[in-house]
Amino acid sequence: MCGIVGYLGPKPAYPILIDGLKRLEYRGYDSAGVATLETDGELRIEKKQGKVANLESHIGANLPQGTVGIGHTRWATHGPPSDVNAHPHAGGKGRIAVIHNGIIENYEALRGLLTHRGHDLVSETDTEVLAHFIEEVQTSTGLDLPDAVRTALKEVIGAYALVVLDQTQPDRLIAARKSSPLVIGVGQDNEFFVGSDATPIVAHTKNVVYLEDEEVATMTRSGELTIRTISDAAVTPAIQAIELEIASLEKAGYDHFMLKEIFEQPKSIRDSIRGRVRLQSGEVHMSGIDDHWDVWSKAQRILILGCGTSWHAGLVAEYLFEGLARIPVEVEYASEFRYRNPIVRNSDVVIAISQSGETADTLAAIRLAKEHGAHVFGVCNVVGSSIARETHAGAYTHAGPEIGVASTKAFTAQVAVLTVMAMHLGKRLGTLDDATFMRLMTGLDNIPGLVQKVLNNAAPVEHIAEKFARAENALYLGRGFQFPVALEGALKLKEISYIHAEGYPAAEMKHGPIALIDEAMPVVFIATQDEVYEKVVSNIQEVKARGGQILAVVTEGDTKVRSLVDHVVEIPKVHNALAPLLTVVPMQLLSYHIALMRGCNVDQPRNLAKSVTVE
Ligand code: F6R
């Protein structure tokens, strides 16, 4: 979603803000803007629809010079992308400027109140309402800025991460959060940085403070950081060191972040299982489970919550946990779970899966599960994220920063961690026999090398992409462990190439989707050799009989499917529980190449945002 950056210190703010905005463009990118307090006391606001580059050319050579400022990349919620709706927004007197991520739910009521009091609002955004409201509170009460912000926020319903700059206070910057993440970087020489995540901060400092819900921070030029809650309790800032390396935020010679992240998977899977899979001692370790064994050993049900690609990883986990640990599993869209009065018992264990750890629906769903007394385990990629902090226990995925909007390495890292969890549970509960456990352990340890092999042999995928690039629809079919991969393949294609694609369990095809099949319909089958292989072969026959163009992902050496279909991509033979870690890779590459051939922006597909921090 929207990206936030802020700076207060001895240096010119603008280069820091622009660099931060470029790093944040992956979150949301329909407009961008900056506000700085200039040396002559002017509050200078510059904003432009489109990419950060548009903002830069709009500003031209007349660069802002102030040493305090805020910047924002917008992902539109209230009002379409436009110069006027872009952030920062000024209050009515043009004295304060506000940037905001989130949604103010009572903005219409506040807007009515402000209009009644003579405020003239020029944009359609909830953020401008916030700017006017803070200014109104400050003017009418005479409160100091931090107190005025806290007083105003008491009346605000909704989610926000915001930063306020006041023309009359060149030595202070105010930041606040509720349900949307906000990080403060504490630099050398009394410098402060603010970010909606750590990416715009890490080039300057690794010391950060994560603001908690309903906290308002005041940063001063003399290096003081004070935090008070909205209800006026003092909070001692907890400074933490982050491990993020700036190199991990660069493309490292690849044309796109997505391609880099696809090729990073041998490493990201290895990092995610390192220390957990111990081949020499024949053990797997998962302290997040062991530390709460009393709960896990009695779990009657596992409830998995997530959205999008993380939900697909949850579907793979359903097969893993039921198959290896024999615990019933339900996988829920977090967004549906939270609004349907779900039945959650304290004998349930909830697993929340999220790359960003900030997805608003998933966060709200785990809060609900906790209220019902469930033990909640997080599988997150971003260290220190809200979901990681709000769960009772968890396991990080160690995939490293994922910048491409379409999730790739996060998925395989999630599946790898969930596999270790299911193996560990199966072993401890006695539902997984030693021979299968050892086979899975060795198999999992080999997966990074085999993913590398799939990547090394991936050249044909680009040629196959040429055949499919002009399609307007596509079907992805798989069974068992490969059904979630079919869903994930279809999601990847629609996200970045804008081709309408559907994933189905292969056997469901005859209950409806088969009506769509003709010569113009590409059908992607995941037809690896497992217990449903022959069934999938029959499904392939059904599509072939109706003239569909078929690409099949098959096990190395397969001849039967090869003889039936138009194109094949081979993957090495592995245990069927591990196969999704390999079969998803050609799906990712196929989407990537098709999107490139269609001239789409692979890393920043239209309308999408990386971290979905609004409902
Ligand atoms: C798909 C994609 C999204 C995310 C979803 C959940 O490529 O990136 O579908 O998977 O928004 O995000 P996280 O995992 O951050 O909770």
Pocket test for ligand 1, best of 196, 359, 493, 610 (most atoms within 8 A of CB): 359
Report the percent of the chain where pLDDT is more than 90.
83
Q: Strand 192-195 to strand 375-380: parallel, antiparallel, or no bridges (unpaired)?
A: unpaired
- pLDDT one-digit tens code per residue, 269-299: 999 999 999 998 999 999 999 999 999 999 9
Tokens in use for 399?
A: 């995939």
CA distances from 78 to 45, 85, 181 (A): 20, 8, 20
Ligand 1 atom having least distance to the Cα of 308: 9
Of ligand 1's listed atoms, the one at least distance from the Cα of 407 is 7
pLDDT tens sequence across 13-68 = 999 999 999 988 877 678 999 999 998 999 999 999 998 999 999 999 999 999 99
The whole-angstrom separation of Cα 294 and Cα 272 is 25
Distance 58 CA to ligand 1 centre (A): 33
- The residue with greater pLDDT, 78 or 269, is 269
- 111 pLDDT more than 80: yes
- Which atom of ligand 1 sits closest to the CA of residue 382? 15
Ligand 1, residues 261, 356, 610: which to mutate, most atoms within 8 A of Cβ? 356
Q: What is the pLDDT averaged over residues 493-519? A: 92
**Hey, which CATH number is domain 3-248, 3.30.43.10, 3.10.110.10, 1.10.10.10, 3.60.20.10?**
3.60.20.10
Global pTM reads 0.85
Gap from CA of 315 to ligand 1 centroid (Å):
14
Nearest CA to ligand 1 atom 10: 309
Catalytic site residues?
A: 2, 610
Whose alpha carbon is nearest atom 3 of ligand 1?
308
CA distances from 459 to 78, 255, 465, 560, 566 (A): 44, 16, 10, 22, 16
- For residue range 139-193, what is the model confidence (pLDDT) as tens digits? 999 999 999 999 999 999 988 999 999 999 999 999 999 988 899 999 998 999 9
* pLDDT value at residue 25: 81
The closest-lying atom of ligand 1 relative to the alpha carbon of residue 356 is 15
Local structure of residue 323 (DSSP, 8 states): I
Which ligand 1 atom minimizes the distance to the CA of 611?
15
Q: Would you tell me the crossing angle of helices 580-597 and 459-468 to the nearest 10 degrees?
A: 50
Distance 305 CA to ligand 1 centre (A): 12
- Separation of CA 518 and ligand 1 centre (Å): 32
Q: Distance, CA 307 to ligand 1 centroid (Å)?
A: 6
Quote the pLDDT of residue 531: 87
Domain residue spans of the chain: 3-248, 250-456, 458-607
Mutate-to-test residue for ligand 1 from 310, 311, 412, 487, highest number of ligand atoms within 8 A of CB: 310
Amino acid 28: pLDDT: 64
User: Residue of the nearest CA to atom 11 in ligand 1?
Assistant: 308
Cα–Cα distance between 557 and 441 in angstroms, integer?
Answer: 24
Most distant CA atoms of the chain, gap in Å: 80
Instruction: Give the atom of ligand 1 at the shortest distance from the alpha carbon of 406.
Output: 7
**What is the pLDDT confidence band of residue 2, given thresholds at 50, 70 and 90?**
confident
Lining ligand 1 with CB less than 6 A are 307-310, 354-356, 359, 362, 406-407, 491, 495, 611-612
Instruction: Give me ligand 1 centre to Cα 64, in Å.
Output: 36
| Ligand 1 atom nearest to CA at 306 | 16
Distance, CA 5 to ligand 1 centroid (Å)? 23
* Distant-in-sequence contacts of 106-113, Cβ < 8 A, 24+ apart: 106/155, 106/156, 106/157, 106/158, 107/78, 107/158, 110/155, 110/156
User: pLDDT value at position 310?
Assistant: 98
- Residue 176 φ/ψ region, left for φ over 0, alpha for ψ in the -120 to 50 degree band, beta for the rest: beta
CA 242 / ligand 1 centre spacing (Å): 23
Domains 3-248 and 250-456 agree in fold: no
413-427 b/e with 16+ CB inside 10 Å = b?
bbbbbbbbbbbbbbb
What distance in angstroms lies between residue 310's CA and the mean position of ligand 1's atoms?
6
| CA 504 / ligand 1 centre spacing (Å) | 20
What type of residue is 588? Q
If you classify domain 250-456 with CATH, what class do you get? alpha beta
Mean pLDDT taken over the chain: 94
- Please state, as a whole number, how many other Cβ atoms lie within 10 Å of the Cβ of residue 196: 31
Ligand 1 pocket test, candidate residues 332, 353, 355, most atoms within 8 A of CB: 355
> Relative to the CA of 309, which ligand 1 atom is closest?
10
pLDDT of residue 97: 97
C-beta of residue 358 within 8 angstroms of C-beta of residue 331: no
**Which tokens in the block code for residue 25?**
């463009």
CATH of domain 458-607: 3.40.50.10490
Across-strand partners of 192?
Answer: 8, 186
pLDDT, tens digit (0-9, with 9 covering 90-100), for 512-565: 888 888 888 999 999 999 888 999 999 999 999 888 889 999 999 999 999 999
